[in-house]
Amino acid sequence: DAGVIQSPRHEVTEMGQEVTLRCKPISGHNSLFWYRQTMMRGLELLIYFNNNVPIDDSGMPEDRFSAKMPNASFSTLKIQPSEPRDSAVYFCASSTGQGGQYFGPGTRLTVT
């Protein structure tokens, strides 16, 4: 199995631009998670889906952030408009729901 796939691996954009991060979970996993990692705050859960349905988005920082999962093999996290404080590494993870999450390599986002 290829594991969780994320794209792009690196993204540099200017403040105010729209950013879209993509994730392909492991085939057969029915839960998908988006995390953000910064030096100051560590790893934070933003939102998670179960069977393509958003279950908890309480970690989404504000309305500029949105996430979708149109099917079992694809999810997006969108930031519009982006701000410098959004600079972080964004991870996607998936699981079978039986315990144990598998993480992708992350997208390093820099907003200038």
Residue position matching structure tokens 């540099």? 12
**Cα gap 29→50, rounded to integer Å:** 9
Out of 23, 24, 104, 111, which residue is the one contacting other proteins (CB under 8 A)? 104
Cβ-based nearer residue to other proteins, 33 or 65: 33
Cβ-based nearer residue to other proteins, 65 or 91: 91
How many residues interact with other proteins (rule CB under 8 A)? 22
Out of 13, 31, 66, 73, which residue is the one contacting other proteins (CB under 8 A)? 31
Q: Contacts with other proteins in 51-90 (CB under 8 A)?
A: 55-56
Residue 28 makes contact with other proteins by CB under 8 A: no
Cβ atoms 82, 16 nearer than 8 A: yes
Structure letter (DSSP) for residue 85? G
Q: How many CB atoms lie within 10 A of CB 14?
A: 10
Cβ-based nearer residue to other proteins, 31 or 73: 31
Cβ atoms 21, 87 nearer than 8 A: no
Which is it for strands 88-95 and 10-13: parallel, antiparallel or unpaired?
A: unpaired
Residues that bind other proteins (CB under 8 A): 4, 31, 33, 42-43, 45, 48, 55-56, 91, 93, 95, 97, 99-106, 108
